[in-house]
Amino acid sequence: MGRQGARAASFVVRVWLEESRAEGRLRGEISDLRTGEVRPFGDELHLLRCLWDWVRQPDIGRSSPSSRKEVPMSELTARDVILRMPEAFQPDKAQGVSATIQYSLTGEGGGDWYLVISEGTCTVHEGKAEKADVTLTMDARDFVDIATGKLDAMKAFMSGKLKVSGNMMLATRLTSFFRIG
């Protein structure tokens, strides 16, 4: 029995274990039954962060699945894109890659996130990695434009919109690891 006055959560959590070489990795997605939004997660900590973000939302319980609207590409935020990267990941394109990629996004909607690619999986984490193989620094809007195919990553680099430090070869291969657009 729940506490009187407590808000009911309307989530479905799908979890599966991806077995690879020596270990299994927890993967899954959380579906918000009120809005229909789906967020992938790559480990237990990320799952807890996603749930916590939803529970903290001030409008919890005010929307319903019938009021859900698709987010136009022009309204995507850097956070939206980053959180969806594990589901856009193409393991066959990143065979043998083990890397940590730091994203330092500036401007409105910016922040720090890092991806860990290892053994055919991709997980996303908020904050700064202890040791990144490559760091990509750019405006959050430019990041969204690259992820949606509106801006070519090489052109962004050549024009100074994208700054790269660390493993340049890894940086040049990154877009091939993910479905773009």
- Reading the chain (181 residues) residue by residue, the pLDDT tens digits are 444 444 445 656 666 655 554 555 556 776 666 666 666 666 555 555 555 555 444 443 333 333 333 444 457 899 988 988 888 899 999 999 999 999 999 999 999 999 999 989 999 999 999 999 999 999 999 999 988 888 988 899 999 999 999 999 999 898 889 887 6
d(CA 43, CA 40): 10
Instruction: For domain 74-177, give the CATH number.
Output: 3.30.1050.10
Secondary structure of residue 169 in the 3-state scheme: helix
- Output the pLDDT for position 74: 54
Domain parsing of the chain, residue ranges: 11-69, 74-177
140-147 helix and 78-88 helix, angle to the nearest 10 degrees = 30
Q: Which residues, other chains included, contact 2 with Cβ-Cβ below 8 Å and sequence gap of 6+?
A: 8
Contact assessment for residue 105 and residue 139, using Cβ atoms and an 8 Å cutoff: yes
The answer to whether the pTM exceeds 0.75 is no
